[in-house]
Structure 1
């Protein structure tokens, strides 16, 4: 399988894209509207978590459900960005299309 590495954005880059402050981006992360992980000791957000200068609808519920299923923050990000046989693609691609129900069913099958 030929997997490409996802692009990650710094907090200031996300703030610029969303036209908000870095503090507001951190709040979105704390409230699970976004997720971030440390890469080279810098907190970064996957670029795919943004669409048309907005956060992805359904991402928050997905992240909360993964957390409730025992996933760590980094594991949840990795799962959302990884290929899923059940979905025939990545969960984030499904969320970007507005298809949150199949993603939630795939998570329930993990438990």
Structure 2
């Protein structure tokens, strides 16, 4: 693992394989992989397997506002790893992390900050 991989591991915490993520959502692992390829989800390879943060899943759906936020970050030039690092790094102006804000239904605040990164 590289130092940046360790940073992401420490920031994100719990991960799901595509199969683990797909099951509660009622979709196939390939559907989750397609969302990653389209930039609507972010994933990284861990232990030879593509995974997403467990925090992305909220019951039987993805966290509200997550996909739009990831598209904005992608448009700003962020790689999956950079987007994950941004989502899981504490931001005193929120407070908490952007991911915690999304899970707390404060997506407008998060997207406003993501849009500002593009300029």
Task: Using structure 2 for the length normalisation, give the TM-score.
Answer: 0.80
Alignment-derived partner of residue 68 in structure 1:
75
- Do 1:56 and 1:96's aligned partners in 2 also have CA atoms closer than 8 Å? yes
Of residues 29, 34, 59, the one that matches 2:36 is 29
Alignment-derived partner of residue 11 in structure 1:
18
- Structure having the higher helix fraction is 2
Q: Give the secondary structure class of the aligned counterpart of 2:68.
A: helix
**Unaligned 5+ runs, structure 1:** none
**Within 5 A, what are the aligned runs for 1:74-93?**
74-93=81-100
1:67, CA displacement in angstroms? Answer: 1.2
Query: 2 CA distance for matches of 1:10 and 1:93?
Result: 21
Aligned residue pair count: 109
1:46, CA displacement in angstroms? Answer: 0.2
CA RMSD in angstroms, aligned pairs only: 1.8
Distance 1:28 1:108, change over 3 A: closer
1:34, CA displacement in angstroms? Answer: 2.3
Greater length-normalized contact order (CA 8 Å, ≥ 6 residues apart): 2
1:4, CA displacement in angstroms? Answer: 6.0
